[in-house]
Amino acid sequence: MAESDWDTVTVLRKKGPSAAQAKSKQVSAGAVGPGAGPSRRRTWAWGGQNKQHFITKNTAKLDRETEELHHDRVSLEVGKVIQQGRQSKGLTQKDLATKINEKPQVIADYESGRAIPNNQVMGKIERAIGLKLRGKDIGKPLETGPKGK
């Protein structure tokens, strides 16, 4: 054997970088800046911010529309009718709320006009105070007739 056989080194079981390692090196090199690494590609996967933000005409139109849209609230007239009906029966807001199985804050919201009207709640209040809160005859006595099924 010649000495040249001893100069050749063969390494077994040496693996190259795994796919995940290669990708992370590529991402970090590309995120540093253009020309900084072997790849000039910038990635947007940092911190989950891979969303593209651009405004179209439709987006601007939606923004204008959503500012004008709002939920209808109970009118102050209805709130005053609830308050007068409750006081005529000698009930506090808490008593009325207990009677209709709602929270006292619900009654306070209805009386102040902050509540979004719910027909079930309005019906319970109407029956409890005996006054109409919906339709044309707001404030008129509730007509209690036999239920027809």
Average pLDDT of the residues in 48-74: 63
pLDDT, mean over the chain: 76
- Written as one letter, the residue type at 125 is I
Q: What is the token pair recorded at 128?
A: 């409890």
Name which of 27-36, 55-64, 70-79 the model is least confident about: 27-36
Asked whether the beta carbons of 111 and 83 are under 8 A apart, the reply is yes
Mapping DSSP to helix (H, G, I), strand (E, B) and coil, where does residue 45 land?
Answer: coil
Q: Using CA atoms, how far apart are residues 125 and 110, in angstroms rounded to an integer?
A: 10
Band (pLDDT 50/70/90 cuts) for residue 51 is low
CATH number of this structure's domain 76-138: 1.10.260.40
- Residue in 112, 94, 90 with CA at minimum distance from that of residue 102: 94
Length of the chain: 149
pLDDT over threshold 70, residue 26: no
